[in-house]
Copies of this chain bind each other. A is one copy, B any other.
């Protein structure tokens, strides 16, 4: 609370704006540095705000990281809702959804380490993660699967099994990128590799669930 009184910047910008700026600065630094170990001072400097505001808005760095994951999850779920409601063949929705997951992992490589950290840090975090992200995600995936099945485009697929196998397939190249230099002589995942991987995963799963 000291930050509230002592920071002249905080009065100069609306609440939502400086909160959003801190989240966006965190996202940028996590992408640039490819690690979750980014200091609050660096985040505040990037956002051009007093670092005391992190405590004020988020409680702690873990609170900030959780809020960032919620921000990104909310955006992803909003896009998926639009896709569910869109006027297009359900199989095309499935294709766009899976490719979209891989694009998200490529552009925001901190999402998986963050989810891992939440899953590993106790049952409360796993519960919270399930509520704000996994349950809504599975419900929306289930709607697309139902639409595709009703349209006769795929066989009956259990949404739970679909969720774990699809997210696992999409995620593993990025999660295991530390092995790429040694196993394949590839230094980093570039746009070309991310796109090849997306084509492979999309094609395998779409062929895999067709009738």
Contact = CB atoms under 8 A, between A and B. Distances in A.
Interface of A: 119-120, 123, 126-127, 129-131, 134-135, 138, 157-158, 160-162, 164-173, 175-176, 178-179, 181-184, 196-197, 200-201, 203-210
B134 A178 contact: no
A94 B210 CA distance: 19
B126 A179 contact: yes
Nearest 9 A-B pairs (CB), nearest first?
A: A168-B172, A208-B208, A204-B208, A130-B182, A161-B200, A169-B169, A164-B173, A165-B169, A168-B168
Given A120-B178, A206-B208, 15 more contacts: A123-B181, A126-B179, A161-B197, A161-B200, A164-B169, A165-B173, A165-B200, A167-B176, A168-B169, A168-B172, A168-B173, A172-B172, A204-B204, A204-B208, A207-B207
Given A165-B169, A172-B171, A197-B164, A182 B119 contact: no
Contact of A119 (B129, B157, B164, B176): B176
Nearest to A199: B161
A175 B165 contact: no
Nearest to A173: B164
Contacts of A119: 176, 178-179
Contacts of A127: 182
Contact of A196 (B161, B166, B205): B161
Nearest to A167: B172
A183 B130 CA distance: 5
A100 B200 CA distance: 22
B165 A201 contact: yes
B209 A179 contact: no
